[in-house]
Structure 1
């Protein structure tokens, strides 16, 4: 829906709050500002709090993300990181543990199958789907039989397995060639394939960021929500917020801009410039609420 438009700078010359381009987004922002104690800020990790990198194991939160979250979180009902990564991995890569001000942070990992709570510092998890172990064992040989596999990389995600094509000679061609065979492999073991930015993730069905987000908002009694994401896996969360808005909850949808994925920006109330833009938004909110 276009680039973000920031309000007039504050007295220190820092950017003011952005102006959502939709009336629903403006209502969502107004509700958050009016009742922050009833509001949840929920964020994807990769591409939103952390830049997309060729090796997912090297992904780290933007250096200013944790200070921004620590400044904002005490003024809210909660901050939630909603990610496909294992919860513990997101905590390590984000640097979220033991940070003053982040006592109300939760990480909903593996699309809600795992949960890390800053208060206890522990991870709660459901039993893993048996199909993931079967796919993990079969996948290397399966890829060897497909010419397009060269340059791809398998990421072990505990409750899911992902095949990345970003390092292939032609990433998009490898992605396209692998999508149907991997979908067939996943189906044989009771899994689904979730496409993303040059990645195909094989994971259990029935759980996504929308389900996880909606359940968490009900749990904490939120009256408004800001959700920020960047990839196709965030579309269910966008849909959940849209459904909640139709039921009377206020919501603001933020896209952490990417030229690789336009589906989110087309539905967002506000588009910001990647993780740096997300951090700027979090800081602007914290300053306004202060």
Structure 2
């Protein structure tokens, strides 16, 4: 765990001081779950569920905010069982899938979602031709229902394929009224107008949060970091945590704390729970 400044260490202490009124937001892939070649096998870190239950005793609520479909996150994370444990303790777990277009909570127990965006079906129809022209026909295409993700990690040269695909996929997305979100060996195309920052703002308002922690690892988390920064300017105690990797560094400069991947994130959450418990005692 590395603080990026003296002020960052002070921000951590401020969050500990208001832990009972703090919301903890967490990305899934690369933050709670290690990045793997097959995204359908990206299970939460083995210690994840235990740490989330421990942390929930000290904070107002925990929210998993991901680009994945909510059902995938629930299944790969074992989050319904985590939600049961939190509900029994009088706390709530939220899961926001597809950048907030899908919502689940341990209190309501069902997924509420939007319809697929206009243009997505046409994008998928044109996608195979675009992949062939870019020499990436073997890229893994993941249909998320409300979005499409093109993964290059399995290709012989993932980085080169990613760079070749980015311009034509951006053009194709624009043609069909969609937006493109680059990530770690993945390019996601989805509807405009929804991002993780909107979820952060909604949670902070609905839960009347006095503190907000967000941990992420990739470009899709930038808006969440920006939203947390704005909350800090409004007087909310905030902490931005980068789950660092060799593949992506953009969040490092925006962060208060940098940790080594999902294991580092869980170590930080354990420490936060322990320090909040000690402060309460």
TM-score range, shorter chain: over 0.9
Alignment length, in residue pairs? 272
Equivalent position to 1:212, from 172, 192, 199: 199
Q: Distance in 2 between matches of 1:119 and 1:218?
A: 18
Structure 1 runs of 4+ off > 4 angstroms?
Answer: none
Counterpart residue number, 1:236: 223
TM-score by length of 2: 0.92
Change (3 A) 1:249 1:23: farther
Tell me if the contact between 2:130 and 2:168 (Cα under 8 Å) persists in the aligned partners.
Answer: no
Residue 83 (1) aligns with residue 66 (2):
yes
Counterpart residue number, 1:29: 12
Tell me if the contact between 1:26 and 1:252 (Cα under 8 Å) persists in the aligned partners.
Answer: no
The within-5 A match list for 1:133-212 is 133-144=121-132, 146-212=133-199
Give the root-mean-square deviation of aligned CA atoms: 1.4
- Structure 2 residue matching 1:279: 3-state secondary structure: helix
Counterpart residue number, 1:13: none
Return the offset for 1:133: 2.3
Return the offset for 1:124: 1.0
Tell me if the contact between 1:257 and 1:265 (Cα under 8 Å) persists in the aligned partners.
Answer: yes
Counterpart residue number, 1:268: 255
Greater displacement, 91-100 / 77-86: 91-100
Greater displacement, 122-131 / 158-167: 122-131
Residues 109-139 of structure 1 deviation map (CA, whole Å, 9 limit, x = unaligned)? 1111111101121111123212222222332
Q: Distance in 2 between matches of 1:28 and 1:38?
A: 15
Return the offset for 1:287: 2.2
Counterpart residue number, 1:65: 48
Counterpart residue number, 1:281: 268
Return the offset for 1:24: 4.2
Return the offset for 1:23: 4.3
Tell me if the contact between 1:28 and 1:226 (Cα under 8 Å) persists in the aligned partners.
Answer: no
Residue 118 (1) aligns with residue 106 (2):
yes
Return the offset for 1:32: 2.2
Return the offset for 1:169: 1.4
TM-score by length of 1: 0.90
Query: 5+ residue gaps in structure 2?
Result: none
Query: 5+ residue gaps in structure 1?
Result: 6-19
Counterpart residue number, 2:38: 55
Tell me if the contact between 1:73 and 1:101 (Cα under 8 Å) persists in the aligned partners.
Answer: no
Residues 74-120 of structure 1 deviation map (CA, whole Å, 9 limit, x = unaligned)? 32111011100111110111101033433311011111111110112
